[in-house]
């Protein structure tokens, strides 16, 4: 595909410490714990960057604040920030996020994956591509692409 | 001569290389024993062997010479005349030149040189000849591994046993050794080489001798091996480890000061390497060399050493100060190995050359920078992380310097202490020397944390220095020490500073303030007695400060814990060092005050905290514990009598807490300490006396249960920790009270022939207390302890257990568990067999006389039971039956644990309850369902209880029948029960009908859950169907969720195990279906979570088995992704991935 790395020397940030949820000593058996921001973040934080051995969290491609979730309305929106503006990996990252969430969330959810406004040269095109069901399905028919996605997702099934 | 021909045979068989090694060894032994028994002389042997020793055939000659050498090995202590030794050694010396037959010559030389002096030894000149021949002829490094080892052994032997002879060879010898060792790699040989070089310098003590000129070359050879990098795979050379080699090399390094010019630079260089093991090794070697090379030689490298050491400490320390009570004593030993070694080296260097190194430390820029740094940060938390680390390093360095010697301690205090005091803003004691005038002056808002930290650690190091020095220097000499003078002069203001830091309560006060304050005071208070640095009033002031924190400042948790911990430390310090002068103050000010907390009426400080303070202080020393125990017991007795007489609920609450504290803290401590045998005895006796004397008894119902439970627990523990004799006393006493002051008709019971249930409840609640307490005593005694009048007690316990008193049932279980143990000739009223007959024949336990199942028929014939049908005769039969079953279960447990066969009878009764005696009843009741529905329900609950009895049988109990309460436990009893019961249950389940089937499954579930997993695993194939059926049968009732969970855990255990997986592979389909059902189990999150984890494990089974089920599983898991609990969803994601990756691509999303 592309020779040479697109962002050869990315800034690596520290990982956020895993927050332990303060569970009551005797949790009520029947209380519902809704899906929240942190849970979504836990699903996607360990996805590997397609071209570096770092997680998306370490590269600050995704942050917890960039996730909006509404459990009652079954809606989630993830906004991610590519490391460089012309990053051609943005679509792959977006695809990884979508696939991981599709596999991790109940089927009632509608998800919206987008590039943070103003962080990518072809923002509109990328967003359109990522949220087009047909195109996503088609992309996953491509064995090379699927292998790549699977490789990126592997660390997130800890 | 017959002997000669036989000898030749032996020789032949050794020399013939086609024979097996064992044959060769046998003939060698035979020849050696001939020689030892004087049936053969060495001379004859050599004559006979002449041909073999001189033949031109290389192989035969080699074997022949080897034979002679090996034979000589066997004769180390047999006397030989000098001429024979001389000619033999000459022969072998010559043979060293014969490289084709070298091994024999090496063995022979070693054998002769190692001879015991009693049997004649090789002369000096001959030894010298050997050495010369060795140096001239041997090319050691061109030989094989084993021959090289022999060469080095020979060399070592020469050096050790003939030092003078070989030393005369001078240069030649050293040169030869250099050549021989060059490039060696085998660990065994290296061990020898390092040792050879270690002893070599002792041969040439003359500093101008030949060794000096070769030192560089020799060291060069050694230096290649440092640091030891040992890559031998495991399994090979098991007897040599890296550490052995490193140690041997270290001894070689430090063997002579002549190595100093080469070794120290090398070690310093390696110290700066990035490999941690190289750093640690360098530091260790430097320590060793420091001691052996001497001060003068090391002084040359002083500056280099100091700067490398400083770097090592600064970079390797990473620990940060934590302000927890646990770290109050015994800081600053760094866990980091490099730092620890570096500090120990520093200490050695300072001891050796105090002036040099302290000069370096005092003028060191880094240290001075830290001092400047701390004055600019007021608060510890304000200091940046990196500087904290450096501060910590400086603390370690300075306290190591203080600990090194008195001189260094003086120097450090002189240079740094006053600086710290300046930073803290403290002033010297004024001339009058008393405290009062400057009480008012300058107490700053907050003391500088960095300076506090440093001065505390300096003080602590100084205290350790004094404590470690054996002789106490005379008082006059002490005051002349600079540190002592300095400390004395700053002491009052320092004490005040610590005090105010610890009790500082301003808004922004900080854990660091309290920590430093408390720690400072603690260190001052624990200066050894000979050094009355602090006067008695000051010591007492410190104690009162702490005590007032403990009694007043309980709202500040950290401070409270710190102060309490400090008090405990001071207490154990006084106890440990026999500080006779301080002890009275401690007892008076601390112990009395704290003990008085237990009885104090007002509720200024929460009761649990008081108890914690009491028990903590108690643990600091025996004499204090006695006081504490007194206080606690007083509180117990006083409040108990309140409870007895007035039924006061307030007292009941207090006494429950105190009793809990007594059983959780005091009794375990007493159990570990020696010489407190009397305390639990007195406690138990007192409790009994008190209840005997309290004829008015008004314990109210509400609090009664809790108090009684706490009392029984304390009583059990107290009795259990008594010796057997004391238990006898308690048992007698309690039996006496039980029989004399209660309304229980013990005597009548004893005489009674047939047993009647006493229906009328004529026993008062006091009687019940006494009985429960008595049951507690019976539960806790040794098997050897004598319990009087067992028989009436049996009747008594059985009546009470039918009223639902579980303690009575447990006591019965303990009795049958411990009675009539063969080991001790204990007197008992009756044997276990009699007791069991009484119990079983009472036939409380036969629940349906009119049904006639097989088992019952057997039972009846076996025991000739005259039936008293409780069920039909008593109105409230169900609850009675349930009580009876619980009682029987505990008795059964007692029997099961000692491995008694009668447990079978009891389990048969349970099985019988589970069996279709129901059948008749159900048929009977179907005719009139409407009226009798209620009774069917009741009966079902009895059956259920019978199934649950297996849980009691198999489960581990904390309240009785365990090791703590001296139960007789036969090894592997669970395993045995499991393997006898499972086949029976299995066959019963096969032919049972639905109702009893679910109960039988329940019973087997209890057994399976409590059997060790490894046993279940060995039987996995048979057990799995029962586990699965159990899971489906029990999943309807919410009350069974714990059983379900237990079964699931067993299932997951099987699935995780390799053998288990093989065993269950066939039933993968059923397992999966069952697990899919449990994913939706609504009552318990853990069940759902574990079921999903099991499914993950199932996905690891053989592909062919699980592939057909993938769609089904994925569909079920998709639902679990929407589970209300987060943990379940998380597992579901993992499980989905595991199953999706075995499925086809289209299913992947």
Q: A21 and B1125 in contact by Cβ < 8 A?
A: no
pLDDT of residue A26: 58
Neighboring chain B residues of A102 at a CB cutoff of 8 Å:
1149
pLDDT of residue B943: 82
What percent of chain B is predicted at pLDDT more than 70?
83
Q: Say if the ipTM goes beyond 0.85.
A: yes
Q: B1124 and A43 in contact by Cβ < 8 A?
A: no
pLDDT of residue B493: 78
**What count of residues does chain B have?**
1149
pLDDT of residue B333: 56
Indicate if the pLDDT at residue B311 is higher than 60: yes
Can you tell me the distance from the alpha carbon of B248 to that of B195, in angstroms, rounded to the nearest whole number?
Answer: 7
Name the average pLDDT for chain B: 79
Neighboring chain A residues of B1118 at a CB cutoff of 8 Å:
106-107
Strand A75-80 and strand A110-115: pairing? Answer: parallel
Can you tell me the distance from the alpha carbon of B951 to that of B945, in angstroms, rounded to the nearest whole number?
Answer: 10
Taking alpha carbons only, the member of B309, B300, B297 closest to residue B271 is B309
pLDDT of residue B1070: 92
Indicate if the pLDDT at residue B923 is higher than 50: no
CA-CA distances (angstroms) from residue B725 to B168, B720, B728, B787?
77, 12, 5, 12
**pLDDT band at A3; cut points 50, 70, 90:** low
Neighboring chain A residues of B1126 at a CB cutoff of 8 Å:
21, 33, 35, 39
Q: How many CA atoms lie within 13 A of B624 on its CB side?
A: 33
Residues B915-930 as b or e (16 or more Cβ within 10 Å = b)? bbbbeebeeebeeeee
Chain B contact present for A6, CB below 8 A? no
- The better pLDDT of the pair A112, B403 is held by A112
Indicate if the pLDDT at residue B416 is higher than 60: yes
What is the nearest CA distance from B1141 to chain A, expressed in angstroms?
A: 10
Q: Are B717 and B965 in contact (CB under 8 A)?
A: no
Name the average pLDDT for chain A: 85
Contacts of B618 (CB under 8 A, 6+ apart): B624, B625, B627, B628, B629, B665, B666, B669
Indicate if the pLDDT at residue B919 is higher than 70: no
Give the chain A residue whose CA is nearest to the CA of B1128.
A33
CATH no. for residue A46? 3.30.300.130
**Residue at A24 is within a domain:** no
Chain A contact present for B857, CB below 8 A? no
Q: Are A155 and A47 in contact (CB under 8 A)?
A: yes
Q: DSSP character for A118?
A: T
* CB neighbours of residue B32 within 10 Å: 18
* Nearest-by-Cβ selection for B1149 from A21, A39, A102: A102
**pLDDT band at B864; cut points 50, 70, 90:** very low
**Residue at A48 is within a domain:** yes
Residues B154-175 as b or e (16 or more Cβ within 10 Å = b)? bbbbbbebbeebbbebeeebbb
| 1062-1101 in chain B: CB under 8 A from chain A | 1083-1085
Indicate if the pLDDT at residue B932 is higher than 60: no
Q: B1124 and A99 in contact by Cβ < 8 A?
A: no
**Residue at A32 is within a domain:** no
Neighboring chain B residues of A157 at a CB cutoff of 8 Å:
1133-1134, 1137
Can you tell me the distance from the alpha carbon of B620 to that of B743, in angstroms, rounded to the nearest whole number?
Answer: 46
Per-residue pLDDT of B470-507, as tens digits, reads: 555 544 455 567 777 777 777 777 777 777 777 665 55
Indicate if the pLDDT at residue B847 is higher than 60: no
Chain A contact present for B1126, CB below 8 A? yes
Cβ contacts below 8 Å, chain A against chain B, sum to: 42
Taking alpha carbons only, the member of B1121, B759, B1046 closest to residue A104 is B1121
CA-CA distances (angstroms) from residue B857 to B700, B848, B991?
48, 12, 19
Q: Are B968 and B817 in contact (CB under 8 A)?
A: yes
Q: B1118 and A146 in contact by Cβ < 8 A?
A: no
Q: B1118 and A21 in contact by Cβ < 8 A?
A: no
pLDDT of residue A27: 64
Q: Are B584 and B574 in contact (CB under 8 A)?
A: no
Indicate if the pLDDT at residue B925 is higher than 50: no
Chain B contact present for A88, CB below 8 A? no
pLDDT of residue B152: 92
Can you tell me the distance from the alpha carbon of B222 to that of B236, in angstroms, rounded to the nearest whole number?
Answer: 24
Give the mean pLDDT of B440-463: 74
Q: A157 and B1134 in contact by Cβ < 8 A?
A: yes
**Residue at A17 is within a domain:** no
Q: B1118 and A107 in contact by Cβ < 8 A?
A: yes
Q: DSSP character for B586?
A: I
What is the nearest CA distance from B945 to chain A, expressed in angstroms?
A: 26
What percent of chain B is predicted at pLDDT more than 90?
8
pLDDT of residue B927: 39
Indicate if the pLDDT at residue B1042 is higher than 70: yes
pLDDT of residue A22: 58
Q: What is the 3-state secondary structure (H, E, C) of B1019-1079?
A: CHHHHHHHHHHHHHHHCCCHHHHHHHHHHHHHHHHHHHCHHHHHHHHHHHHHHHHHHHHHC
pLDDT of residue B1093: 93
* Chain B contact probe: residue of A137, A157, A158 with most B CBs at under 10 A: A157
**Residue at A1 is within a domain:** no
**pLDDT band at A19; cut points 50, 70, 90:** low
pLDDT of residue B760: 39
What phi and psi values does residue A111 have, to the nearest 5 degrees?
A: -120, 150
* Chain B contact probe: residue of A103, A105, A138 with most B CBs at under 10 A: A103
Q: Where are the domains of chain B?
A: 1-121, 123-230+240-270, 740-970, 1019-1149
**pLDDT band at B600; cut points 50, 70, 90:** low
Give the mean pLDDT of B848-869: 35
Indicate if the pLDDT at residue B930 is higher than 50: no
Domain B1019-1149 -> CATH class? mainly alpha
Indicate if the pLDDT at residue B841 is higher than 90: no
**Residue at A137 is within a domain:** yes
| 114-143 in chain A: CB under 8 A from chain B | 140, 143
Per-residue pLDDT of B731-790, as tens digits, reads: 888 888 888 877 666 655 544 444 444 443 455 677 888 888 899 998 988 888 888 778
Per-residue pLDDT of B155-197, as tens digits, reads: 999 888 888 888 888 888 888 888 888 888 888 888 899 999 8
User: For the ranges A22-36, A46-60, B295-309, B886-900, which has the lowest average pLDDT?
Assistant: A22-36
CA-CA distances (angstroms) from residue B172 to B11, B96, B1136?
39, 17, 78
Per-residue pLDDT of B1117-1130, as tens digits, reads: 999 999 998 889 99
- The better pLDDT of the pair B855, B719 is held by B719
- H/E run at residue B65: helix B58-74
**Residue at A12 is within a domain:** no
Runs of H (alpha helix) within B820-876? 832-841, 854-863, 870-873
Q: Which residue has the tokens 């960095």?
A: B450
Neighboring chain A residues of B1140 at a CB cutoff of 8 Å:
103
Indicate if the pLDDT at residue B437 is higher than 50: no
pLDDT of residue B330: 58
Q: Which domain holds residue A47?
A: 37-155
Q: Global pTM?
A: 0.69
Give the mean pLDDT of B235-259: 82
> Edge-to-edge strand order for the sheet containing A67-70?
A67-70, A75-80, A110-115
Give the mean pLDDT of B549-566: 81
Total domains present in chain A: 1
What phi and psi values does residue B484 have, to the nearest 5 degrees?
A: -65, -45
- The better pLDDT of the pair B45, B843 is held by B45
**Residue at A29 is within a domain:** no
* Tokens of residue B734, six digits: 């309690």
Give the chain A residue whose CA is nearest to the CA of B1127.
A33
Per-residue pLDDT of B187-220, as tens digits, reads: 888 889 999 988 888 888 777 777 888 888 888 8
């Amino acid at each position: 595909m592309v020779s040479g790395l697109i962002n050869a020397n990315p800034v690596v940030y520290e990982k956020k410490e895993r927050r332990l949820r303060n569970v009551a000593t005797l949790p009520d058996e029947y209380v519902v714990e809704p899906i929240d921001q942190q849970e979504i973040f836990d699903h996607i934080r360990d996805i590997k960057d397609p071209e570096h051995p770092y997680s998306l969290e370490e590269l600050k491609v995704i942050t917890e604040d960039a996730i909006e979730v509404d459990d009652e309305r079954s809606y989630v929106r993830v906004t991610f920030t590519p490391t460089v503006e012309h990053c051609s990996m943005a679509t792959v990252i977006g695809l990884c996020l979508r696939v991981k969430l599709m596999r991790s969330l109940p089927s009632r959810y509608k998800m919206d994956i987008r590039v943070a406004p103003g962080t990518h040269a072809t923002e509109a095109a990328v967003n359109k591509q990522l949220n087009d069901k047909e195109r996503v399905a088609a992309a996953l028919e491509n064995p090379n692409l699927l292998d790549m996605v699977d490789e990126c997702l592997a660390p997130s099934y800890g | 001569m017959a002997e000669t021909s036989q000898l030749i045979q032996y020789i032949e068989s050794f020399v013939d290389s086609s024979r097996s090694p064992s044959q060769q060894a046998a003939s060698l032994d035979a020849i050696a024993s001939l020689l030892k028994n004087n049936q053969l002389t060495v001379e004859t042997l050599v004559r006979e062997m002449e041909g073999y020793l001189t033949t031109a055939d290389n192989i035969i000659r080699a074997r022949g010479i080897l034979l002679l050498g090996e034979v000589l090995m066997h004769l180390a202590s047999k006397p030989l005349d000098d001429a024979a030794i001389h000619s033999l050694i000459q022969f072998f010396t010559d043979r060293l030149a014969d490289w084709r037959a070298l091994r024999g010559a090496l063995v022979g030389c070693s054998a002769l040189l190692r001879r015991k002096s009693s049997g004649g030894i090789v002369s000096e000149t001959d030894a010298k000849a050997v050495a010369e021949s060795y140096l001239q002829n041997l090319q050691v490094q061109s030989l094989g591994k084993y021959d090289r080892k022999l060469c080095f052994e020979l060399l070592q032997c020469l050096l050790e046993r003939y030092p003078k002879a070989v030393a005369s060879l001078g240069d030649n010898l050293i040169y030869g050794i250099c050549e021989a060792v060059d490039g060696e790699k085998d660990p065994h040989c290296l061990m020898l080489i390092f040792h050879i070089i270690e002893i070599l310098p002792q041969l040439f003590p003359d500093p101008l001798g030949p060794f000096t000129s070769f030192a560089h070359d020799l060291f060069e050879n050694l230096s290649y091996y440092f640091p030891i990098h040992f890559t031998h795979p495991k399994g090979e050379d098991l007897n040599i480890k890296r550490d052995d080699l490193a140690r041997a090399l270290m001894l070689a390094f430090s063997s002579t000061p002549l190595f100093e010019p080469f070794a120290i630079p090398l070690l310093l260089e390696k110290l700066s390497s990035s490999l941690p093991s190289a750093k640690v090794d360098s530091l260790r070697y430097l320590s060793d060399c420091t001691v052996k090379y001497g001060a003068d030689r090391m002084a040359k490298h002083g500056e280099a050493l100091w700067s490398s050491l400083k770097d090592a400490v600064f970079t390797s320390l990473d620990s940060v100060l934590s302000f927890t009570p646990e770290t109050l004593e015994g800081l600053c030993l760094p866990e980091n190995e490099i730092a620890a070694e570096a500090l120990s080296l520093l200490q050695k260097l300072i001891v050796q050359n105090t002036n040099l190194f302290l000069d370096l430390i005092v003028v060191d820029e880094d240290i001075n920078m830290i001092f400047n740094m701390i004055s600019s940060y007021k608060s510890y938390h304000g200091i940046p992380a990196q500087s904290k680390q450096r501060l910590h390093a400086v603390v370690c360095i300075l306290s190591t310097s203080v600990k090194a010697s008195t001189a260094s301690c003086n120097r450090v205090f002189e240079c740094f202490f006053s600086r710290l005091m300046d930073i803290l803003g403290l002033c010297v004691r004024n001339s009058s020397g008393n405290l009062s005038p400057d009480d008012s002056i300058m107490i700053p808002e907050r003391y500088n944390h960095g300076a506090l930290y440093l001065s505390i650690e300096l003080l602590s190091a100084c205290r350790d220095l004094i404590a470690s020095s054996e002789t106490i220097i005379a008082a006059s000499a002490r005051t002349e020490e600079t540190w002592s003078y300095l400390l004395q002069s700053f002491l009052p203001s320092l004490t005040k500073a610590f005090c105010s830091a610890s009790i500082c309560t301003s808004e922004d006060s900080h854990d660091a303030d309290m920590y430093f304050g408390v720690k400072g005071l603690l260190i001052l208070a624990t200066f050894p007695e000979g050094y009355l640095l602090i006067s008695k009033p000051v010591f007492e002031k410190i104690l009162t400060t702490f005590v007032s924190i403990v009694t007043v400042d309980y709202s500040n948790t950290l401070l409270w814990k710190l102060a309490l911990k400090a008090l405990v430390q001071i207490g154990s310090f006084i106890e440990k060092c026999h500080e006779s002068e301080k002890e009275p103050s401690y007892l008076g000010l601390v112990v009395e005050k704290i003990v008085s907390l237990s009885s104090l009426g007002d509720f200024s400080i929460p009761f649990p905290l008081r108890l914690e303070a009491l028990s903590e202080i108690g643990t600091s020393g025996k004499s204090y514990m006695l006081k504490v125990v007194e206080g606690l017991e007083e509180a117990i007795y006083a409040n108990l009598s309140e409870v007895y007489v007035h039924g006061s609920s307030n007292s009941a609450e207090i006494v429950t807490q105190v009793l809990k504290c007594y059983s959780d803290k005091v009794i375990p401590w007493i159990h570990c300490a020696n010489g407190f045998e009397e305390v639990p005895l007195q406690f138990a006796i007192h409790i009994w006396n008190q209840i005997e004397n309290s004829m008015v008894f008004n314990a109210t119902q509400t609090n009664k249960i809790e108090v009684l439970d706490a009392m029984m627990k304390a009583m059990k523990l107290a009795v259990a920790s008594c010796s057997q004799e004391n238990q006898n006393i308690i048992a007698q006493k309690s039996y006496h009270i039980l029989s004399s002051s209660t309304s229980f008709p013990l005597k009548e019971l004893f005489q009674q022939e047939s047993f009647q249930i006493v229906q009328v409840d004529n026993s008062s609640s006091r009687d019940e207390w006494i009985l429960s307490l008595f049951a507690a005593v019976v539960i806790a005694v040794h098997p050897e302890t004598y319990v009087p009048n067992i028989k009436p007690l049996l009747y008594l316990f059985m009546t009470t257990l039918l009223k639902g008193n579980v303690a009575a049932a447990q006591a019965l279980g303990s009795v049958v568990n411990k009675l009539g143990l063969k080991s001790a000739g204990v007197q008992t009223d009756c044997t276990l067999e009699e007791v069991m007959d009484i119990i079983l024949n009472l036939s409380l336990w036969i629940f349906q006389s009119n049904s006639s199942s097989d088992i019952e028929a057997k039972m009846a014939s076996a025991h000739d039971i005259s039936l008293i049908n409780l069920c039909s005769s008593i109105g409230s039969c169900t609850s009675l039956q349930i009580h009876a079953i619980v009682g029987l279960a505990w008795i059964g447990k007692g029997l099961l644990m000692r491995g008694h066969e009668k447990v079978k009878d009891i389990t048969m009764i349970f099985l019988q309850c589970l069996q279709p005696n129901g059948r008749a009843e159900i048929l009977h009741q179907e005719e009139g369902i409407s009226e009798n529905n209620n009774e069917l329900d009741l009966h079902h609950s009895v059956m259920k209880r019978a199934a649950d009895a297996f849980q009691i049988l198999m489960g581990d109990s904390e309240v009785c029948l365990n090791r703590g309460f001296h139960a007789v436990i036969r090894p592997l009893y669970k395993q045995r029960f499991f393997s006898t019961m499972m086949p029976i249950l299995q066959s019963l389940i096969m032919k049972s009908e639905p109702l009893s089937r679910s109960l039988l499954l329940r019973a087997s579930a209890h057994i399976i859950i409590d059997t060790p997993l490894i046993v279940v695993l060995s039987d996995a194939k048979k057990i799995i169907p029962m586990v699965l059926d159990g899971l489906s049968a029990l999943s309807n009732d919410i009350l069974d969720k714990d059983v379900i969970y237990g079964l699931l855990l067993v299932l997951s255990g099987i699935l995780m195990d390799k053998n288990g997986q093989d065993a269950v592979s066939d039933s993968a389909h059923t397992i999966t279906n069952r697990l899919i059902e449990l994913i939706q189990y609504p009552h318990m999150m853990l069940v759902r979570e574990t079921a999903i984890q099991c499914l993950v494990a199932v996905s690891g089974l053989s592909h062919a088995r699980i592939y057909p089920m993938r769609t089904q599983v994925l569909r079920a898991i998709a639902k679990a992704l929407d589970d209300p609990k987060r943990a379940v969803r998380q597992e579901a994601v993992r499980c989905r991935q595991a199953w999706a990756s075995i499925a086809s691509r289209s299913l992947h999303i």
